[in-house]
Structure 1
Amino acid sequence: MNGPVDRVRVAVRRFLAEHRPEEVAVAVSGGADSLALAAVTARLRPGSRAVVVDHGLQEGSAEVAADAAAVCAGLGLRAEVRTVVVEGPGGPEAAARRARYAALRPKRGVVLLGHTLDDQAETVLLGLGRGSGPRSIAGMRAWDPPWGRPLLGVSRADTRTACALLGLTPWSDPHNADPSYTRVRLRTEVLPLLEDVLQGGVADALARTAAQLREDCDALDDLARTCCDDRCDVKELAVLPAALRRRVLRLWLIEEGVPELSDSHLRRVDALVAEWHGQGGVWLPGGFVARRAHGRLRVEPVQS
């Protein structure tokens, strides 16, 4: 007991028991993390589905996807391959992520993702290095409907060993060894150096930090929902602490349909309240602009 397979099994069982999803699908790349997740889910939740996304970015990707689907079918999952077109702004990584999540999004139930403790540590480091704000440093949530991440407390080493013990041969994505990707260098250079300098435990410590920060963020978000009667009134906003005010502004902008807000966007909108000197509007994602006029904030589509 308490071996790698048991740790994966316990993590998935706890997630399913806590959230009791109507339907379960597993996103499978063929790598060790998703294969271990698929194998355990097949045992714990018979009749679940496996979805393999073929991004078409590498030679032979269709064959890799078909092989992964075949392995999942052999585990007892209802497996399918979905082919996507990767295009749009933000570079290939961001475009592939958007296409993948769009293909995976279910009509109901949960899609289990194979993100591990190591992925969480890398996410926190990326957020710190980019100054992306507390939401980024808080990392990934285990339950972010419709996405489930039951393995955030399980190491990548455990998923690899679990696959070996279960007789599964994971696919090794060449992109995961390509140093042109920032996350790969974090994984292969930065984290090992931190582990050496700080004498181990860095990934666990980063994951704990993320969990603590998520709790703080959740508490402030709850306060932001009730602390302000009029989210557009500059006088009412100005008396709030900055951390709370920016959360109020975030809720307002999301309700107005503004997508993909970053910490930088929020700080520029916040400046319309806290650092007002008659400046113009703030351009926001999705073709919106936020402005201040006559003591009130408003957000509107950019006029073409």
Structure 2
Amino acid sequence: MLPETPALLLLRQAVRRWLDAHPYDDVAIALSGGADSLALTAAAVAETDRVRAIVVDHQLQHGSGEVARTAATRARELGCATAEVVAVTVGTVGGIEAAARTARYDALETARGSAPVLLGHTLDDQAETVLLGLARGSGGRSIWGMRAFDPPWGRPLLDVRRATTRQACVDLGLEPYEDPHNSEPDFTRVRLRTEVLPLLEDVLGGAVAPALARTAEQLREDGAVLDAAADAILARVRVDGDLIVDALVGEPAALRRRVIRVWLLDGGAKALTDKHLRAIDDLMVAWRGQGGVAVGGGSAGARLVCTREHGRLTLGFDNR
């Protein structure tokens, strides 16, 4: 039985709400041994019958294997049905932070079976994510933040502050693992956490993180309505895989670019940016005979290119 402290009750309520909205017979927990995932594990064990812990050992630091084994032991002590340690090899693509994330999620996907994976992301993580998206300047979608459930990834703690998970560990007598990467100023997210958000809280009088999280939620709700409208338009203006310019050009810009985005993704495009969408939109609304627009998703020998031909936008490969 968990002690009924305010912090643990908040965590249990958050997990209970998530499970009520997304009922599963069993769930997996991505356990790092840090405060957020430890507190989530304890709350999940108290709220559902079968919890499996998956501990990913990135093998980036000396002694990482021992840290992973300790986390797995704690998971069993908390009541997890199983606790599995998965060692991964982290590549170099995109930098160490991105490569570690890719390796971690790949390992979790393989180990989870049919269960959703609960992640210990908190409201503070959500605020950091929104600020990172804002810096990219890629439109409203880039500051939607994280969803509570983006299958198979579940995030029950998005309304819970990081201070609450730390207090829960104190209440349980657990000493969480402190990842040295979480205090490394070379990582942008660390500087947001330790410098930018505290400064914003000071300058703006507090409650900045909850305000950013609320903004993300409102934008996701608005975006869902616009996306549904764009899907309906796409069904009308797509013919034989192409977009009919005259049928789309009169729609509002926000809907046009959403239609373009879905159409490109359906055609195999990747890593789309606001610059891509605006350049392709210009093939309709600012047509002056310009050439095609290359987008990510091609191969080493062929670019994926959108062009305008005979009143249609077409997507094809341009051999280089």
- Cα distance in 1 between the residues matched to 2:274 and 2:103: 24
Q: 2:283 aligns with which of 264, 272, 276?
A: 272
Which residue of 252, 262, 284 maps to 1:251? 262
Contact kept in structure 2, 1:27 and 1:51, CA below 8 Å: yes
Q: RMSD of the TM alignment (CA)? A: 1.6
1:39 matched to which residue of 2? 42
Structure-1 separation of matches of 2:25 and 2:262: 29
Q: Tell me the secondary structure at the aligned position of residue 109 of structure 1.
A: coil
Aligned length: 304
Contact kept in structure 2, 1:28 and 1:51, CA below 8 Å: yes
CA distance in 1, matches of 2:115, 2:317: 34
1:86 offset after TM fit, Å? 1.7
- Contact 1:42 1:76 (C-alpha < 8 Å) held by counterparts: yes
**1:38, distance to aligned residue in structure 2 (A):** 0.8
Identity percentage of aligned residues: 59
Give a deviation string over 1:101-155, Cα, whole Å, max 9, x none: 1111244231101100000111111111221321121111111111110100000
Quick one: distance in 2 between partners of 1:24 and 1:286? Answer: 34
SS at match of 1:285: strand
Q: Deviations over 1:198-231 (max 9, x none)?
A: 1111111111111111111111011111124123
2:59 paired with 1:48: no
> Any idea what SS the aligned residue of 1:297 has?
strand
Q: Which runs of 5+ in 1 are unaligned?
A: none
Taking a change above 3 Å as real, the CA distance of residues 113 and 302 of structure 1, as seen in their structure-2 partners, is farther
Q: Name the residue aligned to 2:168.
A: 162
The 10-residue stretch of structure 1 (293-302 or 110-119) with the greater mean CA deviation from structure 2: 293-302
Contact 2:26 2:48 in 1 (8 A): no
Is 241-250 or 270-279 further displaced after alignment? 270-279
- Native 8 Å contact 2:116 2:154 kept in 1: yes
The match for 1:296 is 312
The 2-side partners of 1:270 and 1:59 are apart by: 51
What letter matches 1:30 in structure 2? G
Shift of 1:255: 1.6
Letter in 2 for 1:100: R
Larger CA deviation: 158-167 vs 272-281 = 272-281
What is the match of residue 149 of structure 2? 143
Residue type at the aligned position of 1:101 = Y
3-state SS, counterpart of residue 319 of structure 2:
coil
SS of structure 2 residue aligned to 1:204? helix
1:134-213 equivalence runs, <5 A = 134-213=140-219
For 1:65-80, list aligned pairs within 5 A. Answer: 65-77=68-80, 78-80=82-84
Conserved? CA contact 1:115–1:152, under 8 Å? yes
Q: CA deviation at 1:45?
A: 1.7
Q: Which has the larger radius of gyration?
A: 2
Residue 229 of structure 2 corresponds to 223
Which of 285-294 and 172-181 deviates more? 285-294
Tell me by how many angstroms 1:290 deviates.
2.0
Which SS does the other structure have where 1:188 is aligned?
helix
For the 8 Å contact 1:143–1:149, the answer to whether it is kept is yes
2:301 corresponds to? none
Equivalent position of 1:282 in the other structure? 293
Unaligned runs of 5+ in 2: 299-303
Paired residue secondary structure (1:227)? helix
The 1-side partners of 2:318 and 2:83 are apart by 44
**Measured at CA, do residues 267 and 11 of structure 1 come closer, stay the same or move farther in structure 2, by a change above 3 Å?**
same
- Structure 1 window deviating more from structure 2 (54-63 vs 11-20): it is 54-63
Compared CA separation, residues 46 and 86, structure 1 to 2 (3 A): same
Alignment partner of 1:12 is 2:15: yes
Query: Per-residue deviation at 1:31?
Result: 0.7
- Residues 251-278 of structure 1 show CA distances to partners (whole Å, capped at 9, x for unaligned) of 1122222233333332232222223222
Q: 1:188 to 1:290 in 2, by over 3 A?
A: same
Match of 1:289, SS state, is strand
**Cα distance in structure 1, aligned partners of 2:98 and 2:318:** 24
